Chain A
Amino acid sequence: MYESEPKRVIFLIDNKSFYASVEAVARGYNPLKTILVVMSEQANTNGGLILATSPLAKKLYGLQANVSRQRDLPDEKHLLVVPPRMNLYIKRNLQINDIFRRFVADEDLWPYSIDESILDLTHSWRLFGDSPLAVAKLIQRTVRKELGLYTTIGIGENPVQAKIALDVYAKKSPDLIGTISYQTVPDKIWTITNLTSVWSIADRTAAHLNRLGIHTMYELAHANPYLLKAEMGIIGTQLFALAWGIDRTKLAKRVKVRSSSIGNSQVLPRDYAIQSEIELVIKEIGEQVAARLRHHHKQTSCISLGIGFSYAASEEAGRGGFSHSLRIEATNRNDELIAALLLLFRRYWQGEVIRNVAVYTSRLSADAGEQLTLLTPIAEQVHKSDLARTVDALRTKFGFTTVVYAKSKLRGGTAIQRASLVGGHNGGNSYE
């Protein structure tokens, strides 16, 4: 029955406790034998967020693999806490992918996240060993030898099999390799009873499936696909295919993005209630988004502002926040974007205390030229545009904090402090 399905050799490779392992190796410790957590202590993390936990710390303290809070961490003297260095992890990720490129052609490698990559070895595995398993072991040894890091590998005949093999089997197997093929779907996928351990099924989807009387992957595979589709839409069909280990994705065929967008958001370090302070942050983020538009040579004609209320305010207001968009003349100028953002903010904000600000731009077009208006002198318009580009050039060359607006020094501004962060955490670049 699987005759017409694609049969490839797909590896999904994941770095075991990536950030924690990188930090252990940098200190000369074995990543599997160190009790270490990477903790971000930015002002907006409310005491500290655990970004990564070494395998031994997970085992000893029963810590979650994903982000948890400082308060959940035992205060125990054998536990080593280190700050994150995001730039170092990005560098390591690039080095790891360079190693993978020795085993596959460029078009057969897809970095999936900071610590996961998908490799299609269909055409190349025979060059490196007698079996895909032998090649997987060779890749593991190479990464370990050159970077000191342990990798976990899921092997499948398509990407979803490889992903499930990785998540459900490889992480628990002594050689850190898991394999699923069409033949072993009944043994390896149908036997899974914890639905949320399967890629793409989280709590809400699992609850939905439970309501349909589906509690295991076997039950999902034997459910009526038409019923699943009627109940859950296209996702229902996809889940059904997943239960049978079917995935027809052609990885080499790049998905064309229909409409890209550029935006930024941030969680504030404390609750903001004063209009001027909130508007200051909106302006800062607006300027950051405008600079990114200019950097990508794009203009936007639709801008959205998302505001998240603080916990108490959302209880009171009965909603978590608001998000609204506005169509504008295509632009990437600071003043025009900020004017639109403030218009949106003042129209919809009713004095709530807020904790979250997001600015997104969509309907992007090429930055081919500027639409001058009749109402402002041309010299003034050109001057504004030149000024923004000069500031951009200075920041590209010397760093963001070379020139900042005086307003960023006011109470509530976050731009200066955020300049050194990568993905919201300490980049560590000043230490390189």
Chain B
Amino acid sequence: MDNYINLAKKVIEKYPLSKGNFLEIRFFIGEFTNINIRNNASEQISNESKIGVALRALIDGAWGFSTSKNFTKRDLSTAMETAISASKASVNGLKEKSEVPLNYTYTGKAPLKIKIDPRSIPLEEKIKVAIELEKNIRIQGDKIKVSTASLTDIVQREIIVNSLGTEVDVSNCYVRMSGSGTAREGTLIQNASNSVGTSRGWETITEINPTEMGSGIGKRAMSLLTAQAPPGGSMNVLMDPTLVGVFIHEAFGHAIEADSIINNMSVLAGKVGHKVGVEGINVYEDPTIPGLRGSYEYDSEGTKTRKRVIVDKGVLKGYLHSLETAAKMGAEPNGGGRAENFNYKPIPRMGVTYIDKGDMSLEELCQEIKEGVYLSKSYGGYVNPAIGQFFFTAQEGRIITKGEMGPLIQNVSMSGLTLEVLSNVLGIGKDLEMAFPGTCGKGQSAPVTGGGPSLAVKNVVVGGSR
């Protein structure tokens, strides 16, 4: 660690800075392994080595960014000069200066907190687990045309040094296993999938029963072949915790990332202190919960992260900040500046976003819905925070009639409006679960978790075909 930090400090020291100017060097060393088994054969067994350095300069209010794949003082100096020249070249078009807070520096080390390093597991053992998962999806019926199992482990280290004095060395490990089954009968094709993902080590996989996980996926894919086509229209919807995880991420989470706030591209700009949901709604962003996919101790700018209260009793409380957005808004940095790797700049991102639990059982929520649909197992979604319109998809669902669960329905998507949806909540379940380990895309990818309890919401637009 000291070698990297000393090297970075020596490079930064070469460039005298006026007050407000800022330099940053971030080393990134990552190793990724992926095992992918499809239909009883190897689809892909791969290893990726991602090693490089990201260099940022903020000179007279303009940002410059460059990278280096080599770690010598000479290479880093050349790359830093490129970053400085990029920022200087931008000054002519500058109408509003960027800034970073001058009074926050962080030092610390966050080594891997894992029991079993996935890099120590022999390839054969990883392949064996993936084969077991895939097999148990496939054997659930002849109509399963494609069965896949994927096992990914990522171990990465970021060393961040900046001209204000931040010196942070942070390592993260992400392990994920997912399976998918595609069933076909005639022209009807349906898919079911499931995944488990954490920021823990190989112990994640040892705690999973691939036989059960696989058979669950395969059975669901088969059963969807006899499910009804989904209905369309504005209706009452009951969502399971995986869907709620994506729902809160898309419907609300992106709109509280402070880059969209300072750029006037969020419907939640200027809404802190305003009522945005029913009294019972509490939303948190907490990457400090240990072991979840999306948990971390320091962000890619070296800021120590913490639990952030987003919505308290239906009232909006705050945003997710990078150094830049915190400075612009006069807020304290809260560790939201994340970057995928050295080719990307840190931007405000979510880590672990969830709605807190209420006190209703699934049966009570069904009664609350009366007529509508129960939707479950997320596929993901997207949002346009500037107009607050979001979209997300369920793998399956059930019709709810007279407060009772009815027949199975196929995959369907939904859309809603950020400023309406939390006010349309009819009931909050007591079954809180950090249920959706996913990957968020915002020009660059970030491992995240979304969660919550089962949630009943009125007037959701469901995009079915009948």
Whether both chains belong to one complex is answered with no
